Structure 1
Amino acid sequence: MSKLPAFLSSLLFCLMVLGAIPVMAQSSSAGNAPAVAPPPEKVAQLLKLLDDPEVKTWLQNKPATRLETAEQEATLAVEDIEAQARSRFHALRAAVPTVPSEIANAAARVRQQASEHGFAPAAILLLGIVCVGAAFEWLFRRTLHRTKFESPALAQAYAQFGPLIVFTVASAFIFFAVNWPPLLRVVVLYSLLSIIAYRLAMGFCRISMDVGGTSRFHYSRIRIFAAVLAIGIAIWSMCRPLGVNPDARAVIVYLFSLALFLVALETIWHRPFDRKGNPPTRTGNIVASLYLAALWLLWCVNLSGFFWIGIYAVVLPRILLGAERVTSAFALTRWSENAVNSPRMVLLVRGVRAIIILLALGWLGLVWRYNPNVIARDNPFLQTLIYGLFKSVIILLIADLAWQLAKSYIDSRLPSAESDVGLAPDVAARRARLRTLLPIFRNALAAVLICVAAMTVLAEMGVQIGPIIAGAGIFGVAIGFGSQTLVKDIVSGVFYLMDDAFRVGEWIESGSYNGVVESFSLRSIRLRHHRGSVFTVPFGELGAIRNGSRDWVVDKFRIRVPFKTDINKVGKIAKEIGKQLLEDPELGPHFIKPLKLKGVEQIGEFGIEISFGFTARPTGEQTAIRRRAYTMITQAFAENDISFAQPTFQVGGEEKEAAAAALYKRQADAAAQAAAEGGASGGT
């Protein structure tokens, strides 16, 4: 025997030894069929015998015998598995040399049947059908340049799938119009299906490559992989109707699987740099190769369920990413929507993702249900766990779709603070309240969906959720008694929101805390001070709140002028300044009532105090208005020779004379005292 069959024989021996294990497990379980129920009289006799003390003593002294019997049965089961694996190996080894002859005999039977019915060979007929379909496809492609689409993605999809649809319709019409011989019909049918499936897969890959979901390197390798896979599936589907030996069919399938394995292995070791420019590492290539080999072995030993789970772990995320990019590109160019979080976009993208996951899950369910070597059928716990996982995935998909739709709708209804400029006060207040309440509702909805989804998943997995809910209730009561401050904060926050005491973006003051409301959680509020500091204040500590951002704001300020100032003239100046501020494009929209002179507030020791005031919208711009008013008043006073009052001090005339006399008297006293002291010293 040549080296290649010897290599295949050794490889197939290892694979068949592993593949025979689940087969024998099923045969062993099938052999343990339940016996027919005995009559009631014998059951009563058996119970009496079991109650006999001697029988009980004998049964208690026989554990070693039972253990030996179990060990013998296990040894026999292993020997049976080895015997069946060896038999399977020899059958496949003997079938390897017969594969060419089996294929030649099948081809001869097809040619003979075709000639008996007056048909040409299958290859010529298939080529003719393909040529006719290609001719119709060429006619259709000539009209592609006349069809214009606003969406590039839609134009690309039309260019890829339009000709394929025409080819499929033309080929199907010819196929169904001809009364084929049985064997020739099988060959033509599976050949056409493989061609159409290959072109359909390549169309999706081409669109994914155009939107950046697939690189050119991977596209070229996918073409080779898809071609080998399509040919292998077509030949495998033809072999049974054409009468090919089952062992030869198995060898053909293993050969095609080995070819696919080599294509995937070459892709791993020759892949280019990733999207970030990092080259593939040798360790990563080795790990990927081992993972690929493990998947191939799982398929070879007929563990299809685990094989597809391994495939999904690698391929499904890439398929979902490519589908999301293709769907987003189509939607953005088709609907001209720049907001990727709009409900319609979310429904489309998440809907396509959910459909792909459900199709993958359905295929896995079919493989696992109809696979005779599935392990879960022999273990009720594993069966419940697997079915629970299937249902849990569906539940999580529904919960995710509901959350994404609700989140996108809430975000679309959530207005920005910048868009409130120039709106009516009641409209701006309503939008501010929406900015305050919608985030809380969104967080509460997320918590409810998570709890409901988690409880449903646990119930589907076979967990009794009744005790969990009861325990959570008791735990919640204990937490409530142990953390009264937390409960107080939460309840206070609820009442603050019900009273509409503050909204996001408003300036409030409570005790020693003041600032603009940035956000709040269930138990605290976040205030941003005008100097940048952030206060996180629990609701229970807020107390009375002073809100400076509701409805309107009155701002007053005072200045001092000399007693001789003309107040009427100052009033006219204030009126003119108020008119100029109203005409200012930046500050004018914030006024409700313009700046004007309020009048004389009081008469001081060195001047008159007069007050100015204006009414503005609560947008926080009253400080800027006041600063601008100060500047304009200073300039207007200077232009009209009006000065500001300054403190002065005057000393009266009589006080001057008294001070001078006192000073003269002190000097005279000092001189007399000095003269007296000098005379006393001379006499001595």
Structure 2
Amino acid sequence: MSWIMARVFLAAGIQTEATAGPGQQRKIDEFVKLLEDPDIRTWLTARSQAAGAPTAPAGLASGGLANWEATTRAHIHEIVSAIPSIPSELLSASLRVRQDAISHGFAPVFLIFAGLVALGLAAEWIYRRIRSSTGSLMAQLAPICVFALGIAVVFFAVEWPPLARIVLLAYLAGFIVFRAGSVLVGFAVSHRSLRLRCRILLAVVIIAIASAALAQPLELPSAVADAIAVGFSIVILALAIEAIWSSSPQRTKNSKAALTLLLVIVWCFWAFGLKSLFWLGLYAVGLPGLLSGIGRAAERFAGNDTSGIRRVLVVRGARAIVIAAAAGWLAIVWRLNPEGLGHSNPVVTAIFYGLLKSVVILLLADLAWQLARNWIDRTLAASLDTSSLPPADAARQARFRTLLPILRNALAVIVAVMAGLIVLSEFGVQIGPLIAGAGIFGVALGFGSQTLVKDIISGVFYMFDDAFRVGEYIQAKNYKGTVEGFSLRSVRLRHHRGPVFTVPFGELGAVQNMSRDWVIDKFRITVGFDTDVEKARKLTKQIGAELTQDPELGPLFLQPLKLKGVEEFGDYGIVLSFGMMTVPGMQTYIRRKAYLKIREAFKANGIDFAQPTVNVGGDEKASGAAPASALVRRNKLAASTEAASDGG
């Protein structure tokens, strides 16, 4: 008993006997354990102050730094003093358990433990004989569940002695947890050496937890139990440090040294009773690796479902459960440790609980967003292939490709804003005035950025009118191109020559959609004046039939190629008009094929295409041309005669 508690007992007027007989030792131990309860200590402190006991200065008040330092020092002294008595206390406890089992007609506890384990292994062997296991996580956990069920049936069917029952329950539960944890470690850790070290560390942790849970039922003194816990913690710390330096070849020496120092600091937090800081530090060290391992195990459990909702629920859900459990455990530790340094400050307490609640809120928001985004991405991926769909279904898929990206962006903003507001409210911020202020700011922003508001509203109405969709070719004012995507205020157009236009919705105006439903393509060809038009019509009809029967071009036609008739008389021949109805976007490709077939058919059947010609004729023109030709000949003759004389 520390000197601080002795002062409290004296101030409260509590009398204790100087000596106690052997029969009273157990009652004294129970009384000492009762005095360690935080509520009892608080009540005794209040009684001491009411009785006029001397109090510490304000800076050293109960719950302050000086009180914590004195309590910690006394606690360490008790642990050090209890170390020599650990073997005798453990021997006494084991003898009590053995005597309790033998006095009720049972074998020693370790034999009962071995028998129950053997029974569970037999049930597991029968299950494996009946049903062969595969490499999945559930297939490896199922035999362990059968093992646990076989043990549980026998354990709860037999009325065991009191002490033996508690000991068996603790270590059997620990053994089952170790086996299940070993399977999870095998799924989460791929490195063989690190996997072995993780399993050894898990075994030591489970034994330590089971032993700590048995300290009170076995009537071990609190100082001895604390000393045993410190011993286990040192072993666990040594194993963790050894794993860091032996099984992490990808880490540098500096990172290993920093991680080792962090582990030592976390252990000091636990040893000095700073439970909240201990768990925070432990999570900072182990939670990233734990989440990574849980994620890998969850991905293997999800199997080949690479883009489904099941994968999101399993992977993200498993990580969210781990983080939420960590936050919940921190809340429990904080609540059960009222003497912590931060409990005296209500602001620190409010911030602590606000952080824990915010973690849960952000996890739920992230899970909801991931589910929604996964559904949108899968729908977008499924809407890309529309070649085998009817026109109505293809149009609906195109509308999905248009609206879903905008919905995804809007949903991300909504989830982020709502999660942020809820987090602020958990920290005690009044979000009502904040929302009202945001509304006023939004109005002011609307007046100050009318162009932006105009673009956004115009985009909304374009979407409502279904004016264009992703993948369609449109023309608006001087902009033309294929719609590639949207934002809240603009559309992205890819010109057929390559440039990309980012056009605000407010600048589009009237939109010509050249890819909706169907298109009628018309073109003209000029032939000679002596062409047989009826013959050309029959040839065109034959060409149209050939094109519609073509396996590649036929599905692209809605109406075959036809000769509409004589459009006009040109300067060099007759202008014939042709027309056809095709699916949108393929008219240019089909027209090129039609040009080639028309040329070949017309050429083979004596139909000439019109060409520019110049006809020179008439008597007056001929009479004027003859003297000119004679003059040219005379000039050439004179030039040649002069050249000959010069040469002679």
The TM tier, using the shorter chain, reads 0.7 to 0.9
Name the structure 2 match of 1:496. Answer: 462
1:236-255 matched pairs, under 5 angstroms: 236-255=212-231
What are the Cα deviations for residues 325-374 of structure 1, in whole angstroms up to 9, with x where unaligned? Answer: 444444446xxxx4x33334434444344333333322222222112333
Residue 167 (structure 1) aligned with residue 147 (structure 2): yes
CA 1:632/1:244 → structure 2, altered by over 3 Å: closer, same or farther? Answer: same
Residue 473 (structure 1) aligned with residue 439 (structure 2): yes
**How far 1:105 sits from its partner (Å)?**
2.0
1:264-275 matched pairs, under 5 angstroms: 264-273=240-249
**Residue type at the aligned position of 2:199:** R
Residue 302 (structure 1) aligned with residue 282 (structure 2): no
C-alpha separation in 2, matches of 1:630 and 1:321: 63
SS across alignment from 1:503? coil
C-alpha separation in 2, matches of 1:75 and 1:302: 16
1:196-345 matched pairs, under 5 angstroms: 196-206=176-186, 208-209=187-188, 214-273=190-249, 279-332=250-303, 338=305, 340-345=306-311
CA 1:248/1:440 → structure 2, altered by over 3 Å: closer, same or farther? Answer: same
What are the Cα deviations for residues 138-195 of structure 1, in whole angstroms up to 9, with x where unaligned? Answer: 33332233x7x7xx52xx523x333323332332333334433333333222221221
SS across alignment from 1:537? strand
Name the structure 2 match of 1:181. Answer: 161
Residue 409 (structure 1) aligned with residue 375 (structure 2): yes
C-alpha separation in 2, matches of 1:157 and 1:591: 55
Name the structure 1 match of 2:355. Answer: 389
- When normalised by structure 2's length, the TM-score is 0.84
C-alpha separation in 2, matches of 1:493 and 1:116: 86
CA 1:569/1:120 → structure 2, altered by over 3 Å: closer, same or farther? Answer: same
**How far 1:668 sits from its partner (Å)?**
10
Unaligned runs of 5+ in 1: 1-22, 37-67, 274-278, 672-684
CA 1:100/1:496 → structure 2, altered by over 3 Å: closer, same or farther? Answer: same
1:500-649 matched pairs, under 5 angstroms: 500-618=466-584, 620-649=585-614
CA 1:140/1:498 → structure 2, altered by over 3 Å: closer, same or farther? Answer: closer
Structure number with higher relative contact order (C-alpha < 8 Å, ≥ 6 residues apart): 1
1:44-59 matched pairs, under 5 angstroms: none
Name the structure 2 match of 1:129. Answer: 116
Name the structure 1 match of 2:450. Answer: 484
**How far 1:294 sits from its partner (Å)?**
1.7
C-alpha separation in 2, matches of 1:181 and 1:546: 88
- When normalised by structure 1's length, the TM-score is 0.80
**How far 1:88 sits from its partner (Å)?**
3.1
**How far 1:296 sits from its partner (Å)?**
1.3
Task: Single out whichever of 471-480 and 455-464 deviates more from structure 2.
Answer: 471-480
Name the structure 2 match of 1:446. Answer: 412
Contact 2:540/2:561, CA 8 A, preserved across alignment: yes
C-alpha separation in 1, matches of 2:467 and 2:559: 26
CA 1:129/1:605 → structure 2, altered by over 3 Å: closer, same or farther? Answer: closer
**Residue type at the aligned position of 1:648:** T
**How far 1:236 sits from its partner (Å)?**
2.2
What are the Cα deviations for residues 75-123 of structure 1, in whole angstroms up to 9, with x where unaligned? Answer: 9976655554443333222212111122122223333333433433322
C-alpha separation in 1, matches of 2:69 and 2:423: 41
Task: Single out whichever of 526-535 and 601-610 deviates more from structure 2.
Answer: 601-610
Contact 2:405/2:486, CA 8 A, preserved across alignment: no
C-alpha separation in 1, matches of 2:80 and 2:248: 39
What are the Cα deviations for residues 230-267 of structure 1, in whole angstroms up to 9, with x where unaligned? Answer: 22222222232222222121111111100011111011
Unaligned runs of 5+ in 2: 1-36, 51-55, 638-648
Name the structure 2 match of 1:464. Answer: 430
C-alpha separation in 2, matches of 1:347 and 1:195: 30
**How far 1:538 sits from its partner (Å)?**
1.0
**Residue type at the aligned position of 1:127:** A
SS across alignment from 1:517? strand
C-alpha separation in 1, matches of 2:43 and 2:241: 38
1:4-153 matched pairs, under 5 angstroms: 83-145=70-132, 152-153=135-136
C-alpha separation in 2, matches of 1:89 and 1:497: 72
C-alpha separation in 1, matches of 2:560 and 2:515: 19
Name the structure 2 match of 1:10. Answer: none
1:636-675 matched pairs, under 5 angstroms: 636-653=601-618, 654-661=620-627
**How far 1:536 sits from its partner (Å)?**
0.6
Residue 380 (structure 1) aligned with residue 346 (structure 2): yes
Task: Single out whichever of 512-521 and 196-205 deviates more from structure 2.
Answer: 196-205
**How far 1:416 sits from its partner (Å)?**
5.2
CA 1:29/1:283 → structure 2, altered by over 3 Å: closer, same or farther? Answer: farther
SS across alignment from 2:469? coil
C-alpha separation in 1, matches of 2:119 and 2:466: 74
Task: Single out whichever of 595-604 and 424-433 deviates more from structure 2.
Answer: 424-433
**How far 1:218 sits from its partner (Å)?**
2.3
Contact 2:276/2:330, CA 8 A, preserved across alignment: yes
C-alpha separation in 2, matches of 1:402 and 1:86: 49
SS across alignment from 1:627? helix
C-alpha separation in 1, matches of 2:398 and 2:295: 34
C-alpha separation in 1, matches of 2:254 and 2:378: 46
SS across alignment from 1:579? helix
Contact 2:302/2:310, CA 8 A, preserved across alignment: no
C-alpha separation in 2, matches of 1:34 and 1:387: 32
CA 1:249/1:203 → structure 2, altered by over 3 Å: closer, same or farther? Answer: same
**How far 1:414 sits from its partner (Å)?**
3.7
Task: Single out whichever of 398-407 and 482-491 deviates more from structure 2.
Answer: 398-407
C-alpha separation in 2, matches of 1:415 and 1:94: 69
**How far 1:662 sits from its partner (Å)?**
5.7
**Residue type at the aligned position of 1:157:** M
Contact 2:100/2:161, CA 8 A, preserved across alignment: yes
What are the Cα deviations for residues 278-300 of structure 1, in whole angstroms up to 9, with x where unaligned? Answer: x3211111111112112211222
What are the Cα deviations for residues 463-520 of structure 1, in whole angstroms up to 9, with x where unaligned? Answer: 1112222221222122112211111211222222222221111111112111111111
Query: Residue 157 of structure 1: which of 138, 144, 149 is its match?
Result: 138
CA 1:27/1:531 → structure 2, altered by over 3 Å: closer, same or farther? Answer: farther
What are the Cα deviations for residues 415-456 of structure 1, in whole angstroms up to 9, with x where unaligned? Answer: 656533354433333332222222222222222222111111
**How far 1:69 sits from its partner (Å)?**
7.3
What are the Cα deviations for residues 623-682 of structure 1, in whole angstroms up to 9, with x where unaligned? Answer: 10011111111222232233222111122242132134367689999x9xxxxxxxxxxx
CA 1:485/1:518 → structure 2, altered by over 3 Å: closer, same or farther? Answer: same
Contact 1:415/1:434, CA 8 A, preserved across alignment: no
CA 1:649/1:297 → structure 2, altered by over 3 Å: closer, same or farther? Answer: same
